[in-house]
Amino acid sequence: MKKVMPPRFQKYSFYIISSLVFFVWLCFFDRSNLYTQFKIALDLKKLETQKNYFENELKVIKKEEQQILGSTSALEKFAREKYLMKKEGETVFVLVDENEQPLLEKDQ
């Protein structure tokens, strides 16, 4: 091995070889190897996009909540549409599709 290296590096050959072995170990065999670090970076990016999505959804929901709680008529409309609430003596007809999901709520 010493014949391959230039003369000025021959006295440091142990350190150079040790460093190369250490670098290869870190890149491929260690628990935190390059593949794992790349996978973690991709997961982090995915989680950050999810975080942004949920933050935007939270803003929309808070805005909707302020609109609903701002007036009694909006609150009543929301309760009738989402939770199928009704007044006493009133009949509510709910049309459902083949998946048992409501199509249209109609109050009478």
Assigned domain for 43 exists? yes
Residues 33-77: tens digit of each pLDDT: 888 889 999 999 999 999 999 999 999 999 988 888 888 888 888
Domain that holds residue 86: 7-107
- Paired strand residues for 104: 95
Which amino acid, residue 61? I
pTM of this structure: 0.52
Q: Is residue 1 part of a domain?
A: no
Q: Which helix (H) or strand (E) holds 39?
A: helix 34-70
Give, for 13, the enclosing helix (H) or strand (E): helix 13-24
Q: Average pLDDT of 82-105?
A: 75
Sign of the Cα pseudo-torsion (25, 26, 30, 34, in order) = negative
Asked whether residue 2 is assigned to any structural domain, the reply reads: no
d(CA 6, CA 12): 11
Tell me what pLDDT residue 104 has: 56
**Mean of per-residue pLDDT scores for the chain:** 83
Report how far residue 17's alpha carbon sits from residue 10's, in angstroms, rounded to the nearest whole number: 11
Instruction: Identify whether 45 is part of a domain.
Output: yes
